[in-house]
């Protein structure tokens, strides 16, 4: 299941609590066509892998987390472990998303 991140405090707590479990964050917007196309892929994969990773999304129309993370385009996916960003990519590329999740888990 993909959870919505509400604010920067919650985002930082999520990263801290996850420890060495992979956290994937989808920075998205409701009005973004490519975001809406990749969302079902992200959500299905999140359900399949819920025991090995945490999946979250953040709407860019609420800028606190997105500006803190340096997001400039959508969709952008960021991957974290132990509170550190391991990788980031922008675009609705299903193959890249699934490959990175498998590599970093």
The verdict on whether 69 is a catalytic residue reads no
- Region at 70 (left for phi over 0; alpha for psi -120 to 50; beta for the rest): left
DSSP single-letter state for residue 62: S
Q: Which of 93, 101, 104, 9 is nearest to 48 (CA)?
A: 101
| Rounded CA separation 30/59 (Å) | 7
The verdict on whether 32 is a catalytic residue reads yes
Active-site residue (options: 35, 65, 69, 97): 35
Q: How far is CA 97 from CA 10, 11, 13, 47, in A?
A: 24, 21, 24, 15
Active-site residue (options: 2, 15, 24, 32): 32
Q: Which residues are catalytic?
A: 32, 35
């Amino acid at each position: 299941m993909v959870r919505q991140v509400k604010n920067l405090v919650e985002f930082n707590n999520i990263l801290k609590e996850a420890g060495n479990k992979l956290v994937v964050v989808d920075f998205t917007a409701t009005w973004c066509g490519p975001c809406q196309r990749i969302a079902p892929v992200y959500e299905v994969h999140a359900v399949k892998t819920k025991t090995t990773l945490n999946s979250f999304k953040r709407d860019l129309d609420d800028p606190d987390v997105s500006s803190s993370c340096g997001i400039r385009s959508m969709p952008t996916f960021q991957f974290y472990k132990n509170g550190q960003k391991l990788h980031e990519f922008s675009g609705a590329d299903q193959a890249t998303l699934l490959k990175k999740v498998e590599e970093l888990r």
